[in-house]
Amino acid sequence: MSKTDKDLGLQVQAHLIAQGIETPMLKFPPDRDSEAGRFERQEEIEEHLAKVMGLLGLDLEDDSLRDTPRRVAKMFMREIFSGLDYANFPKCTVIDNKMNVDEMVLERNITMNSTCEHHLLPILGKAHVAYIPNKKVLGLSKMNRIVKFFSQRPQVQERLTSQIHAALCYILETEDVAVIIEAEHACVKTRGIEDACSDTVTSKISGAFRAAAARHELLTFIK
């Protein structure tokens, strides 16, 4: 059974575009967007990375460096930037809320590893995702998979938070959704200001969670 759902992914993408929160992306022609086309793009990335490393003065004849362009190109396409391809969107089967659950469902401390789109350095943190079921209930692991999908692309944390929120609202057919992300940015820690102690918190909260009592309950449970 496939763990991905491209059709749902394209629906979610259209929803993000309508809200103005989609990642700026090029649209490839079908031959470049096929499996063969993705492999060709990976090979081209490998070639460009080899040129960059050479311009930095690295000797790619050395056995420690020889395969680095290939490894990084594969990592870009198949791992840390795989969320740019909606063919990889996770299968998110929902079930009817037959149990009439009407209280908050909260998934805390979801591992969130992304990449800063300004410097291509890591963003490492955790996401807290909550919703109040309406007609639909979503499997718990699917929330983790949605966080992972949108994290696996060059990002800014504010947009990432909004994308996860919008995708869950669309899939669950409810506005009663909250997303909070706590993360540390390597572009802040290791360059520029070099502040090793700060972190960043972003949130997108809608529906019933905007009421004071529900917001207080959510934050209490997270902490």
Break the chain into its structural domains and give their ranges.
6-12+16-88, 91-222
DSSP code, position 129: E
Q: Which fold has domain 6-12+16-88?
A: GTP Cyclohydrolase I; Chain A, domain 1 (1.10.286)
**Torsion sign (Cα): 163, 221, 93, 77:** positive
What is the full DSSP assignment across 150-206?
HHSSEE-HHHHHHHHHHHHHHHHT-S-EEEEEEEEEHHHHSSTT--SS--EEEEEE-
> Is residue 187 annotated as part of the catalytic site, yes or no?
yes
> Is residue 117 annotated as part of the catalytic site, yes or no?
yes
What is residue 223's predicted lDDT score, i.e. its pLDDT? Answer: 87
Q: Record the tokens describing residue 10, joined without a space.
A: 């394209």
What is residue 29's predicted lDDT score, i.e. its pLDDT? Answer: 95
Q: Record the tokens describing residue 148, joined without a space.
A: 């992972």
Name residues of the chain where pLDDT drops below 50: none
What is residue 99's predicted lDDT score, i.e. its pLDDT? Answer: 94
Amino acid in position 62: D
> Is residue 79 annotated as part of the catalytic site, yes or no?
no
Of these residues, 117, 158, 175, 184, which one is catalytic?
117
C-alpha 168/C-alpha 171 separation (Å) is: 5
90: left (phi over 0), alpha (psi -120 to 50) or beta: beta
Helical axes 157-172 vs 140-151, angle rounded to 10°: 140
Of these residues, 15, 22, 107, 119, which one is catalytic?
119
What is residue 2's predicted lDDT score, i.e. its pLDDT? Answer: 77
User: pTM for this one?
Assistant: 0.96
> Is residue 22 annotated as part of the catalytic site, yes or no?
no
What is residue 97's predicted lDDT score, i.e. its pLDDT? Answer: 96
Distance of CA 51 to the CA centre of its chain: 29
> Is residue 19 annotated as part of the catalytic site, yes or no?
no
CATH class of the 91-222 domain in this structure:
alpha beta
What is residue 125's predicted lDDT score, i.e. its pLDDT? Answer: 98
